[in-house]
Amino acid sequence: MTGGHVVVVGGGLAGITAATALADAGARVTLLESRPRLGGAASSYPRGPLIVDNGQHVFLRCCESYQQLLARLGMTDSVTVQDRFDITVLAPDGPARLRRGASPLHLAGALARYRLLSLPDRARVARAALALQRADPARPELDTIRLGDFLAARGQSTRARRMLWDLFVVSALNIAGDEASVPLAAKVVRTGLLGGRAAADIGMARVPLGTLHDTAARALLTRLGVEVRLRARAAAVESLPGGGYAIRLSQADSGEPGQPGQADLGGGPASPAGPLLADGVVLAVPPGQAARLGSTAGLAAAASWDALGYSPIVNVHVVYEHPVMQLPFAAAVESPVQWVFDKTRQAGLSSGQYLAISLSAADEYIDMPTAALRELFGPALERLFPAASGTVIRDFFVTRERRATFRQAPGCAGLRPGAATPAPGLVLAGAWTDTGWPDTMEGAVQSGHNAASQLIRGLTGVDQVRPAAAPEPAGRGAL
């Protein structure tokens, strides 16, 4: 593919991955990103002395594609992974713990000791887990069933679904547990919870996400010769009579609505004066934007891409005068808090403690005023962490992602397109495309590889060879 020009529209993880793979294949690549930074939904911005992640993103040890990207970015030492899957679950009557053992039945002991479920409920969990493990995602009828109905039919009580299943499903699929897609829930269970013994070990960044997905990504892309154009919004992708495409640009916004304290991180505004000419295009943008751009390229099928819908995520950020939580992170049940993370060191806070509450499936919170959220979550944190009572809150702010993920509900499998489109040289990337994974960082990276492979195959007839999985370091928690 040496010498061909490809334009990648979108600088999230999917676009970064696709641009890297295409540059590796010898293409001349231009990457367009409408925001002032790369990283998409997994990025950071400054707020006073803090560097704030726009949302909390974790990965599992089984997420090999994302870890390969980190290695390529030279950021392996900037993340950490648990030595052993271990979650503290906070409840009104005291905490519980889910921690894997060292035996082949690594989660059996954790479940047996999980006091938030009755003994009969604990005994019935295995039946549902095995049913999900055996579920065939290719069966169309499976995509018509609500997860709540699937689990209830296999002996899972309402309490079991709220106290156990929702811990994993709501955060992984960003939808109320009972309303979730069965094939995607099965992917979470089969790959993470019931995969290899270490598959579900949780990984997190030690540094702001922007250091990984913006600073390091821009450095890699620059070394590869990719032209990165920030604040460059694609307004139309038009097919040319002789083949190829003209990408017309519009003036991008200088900031991101809803995010406090935005600052210019570089990359001047793109001029809409003349179109970019390309042999191939990767649309690595959310489904609504992809549908609009695909329509400008004459794709009748593009209108259906936005039918996936969206689910919001809200993050509540609380900075305390003194530390109130002793854990790196925790889940919560019977509380408006779902997951809470200690972001103090990662954000660069020198004193006090910075906690971030991650709220998935946040339909009821997305339009709630910040003052109302403070009235709700301030006392909720005090109930979980008694040390918070009477501790001064130095800062309280909220970040909202109205279209954080596609809506991972029954019927979504049939709506997710693959990387290929009917238009020669125009391909799709993004965690919403059909990767077999939920809308996650792993799915985004895999989609970038899929798009690059499809484009190279379509333009040259040669398959791209994907990199081999990086070996797991022995005896280390960090990847």
Closest to 121 measured CA to CA, from 89, 170, 154, 144: 154
Q: Are 185 and 129 in contact (CB under 8 A)?
A: no
Structural domains in the chain plus CATH codes: 5-59+208-308+408-460 (3.50.50.60), 103-200 (1.10.405), 310-406 (3.90.660.10)
pLDDT tens for the chain, 479 residues long, are: 566 999 999 999 999 999 999 999 999 999 999 999 999 999 999 999 999 999 899 999 999 999 999 999 999 999 999 999 999 999 999 999 999 875 445 577 788 889 999 999 999 999 999 999 999 988 899 999 999 999 999 999 999 999 999 999 999 999 999 999 999 999 999 888 777 788 999 999 999 999 999 999 999 999 999 999 999 999 999 999 999 999 999 964 434 434 433 333 333 444 456 899 999 999 999 999 999 999 999 999 899 999 999 999 999 999 999 999 999 999 999 999 999 999 999 999 999 999 999 999 999 999 999 999 999 999 999 999 999 999 999 999 999 999 999 999 999 999 999 999 999 999 999 999 999 999 999 999 999 999 999 999 988 766 654 553 433 333 323 22
Residue 458 CA to residue 420 CA, distance in Å, equals 9
- Which amino acid would we find at residue 325? M
Q: Return d(Cα 143, Cα 411) in angstroms, integer.
A: 5
Distance between CA atoms of 420 and 290, rounded to whole angstroms?
A: 13
Task: Report yes or no: 235 and 273 within 8 Å, Cβ to Cβ.
Answer: no
Q: Which residues of 79-89 are buried (b: 16+ CB within 10 A; e: fewer)?
A: bbbbebbbbbb
Identity of the residue numbered 68: Q
In 3-state terms, the chain is what percent helix, strand and coil (to 5)? 35, 25, 40
- Separation of alpha carbons 270 and 354, rounded Å: 36
Find the helix or strand (DSSP H, E) in which 453 lies.
helix 441-460
pTM: 0.91
Q: How many CB atoms lie within 10 A of CB 339?
A: 19
**Structure tokens belonging to residue 70:** 């980190």
CA atoms within 13 A on the CB side of 58: 24
Which residues make Cβ contacts (< 8 Å) with residue 379, sequence separation at least 6?
Answer: none
φ, ψ for residue 51, nearest 5 deg? -110, 115
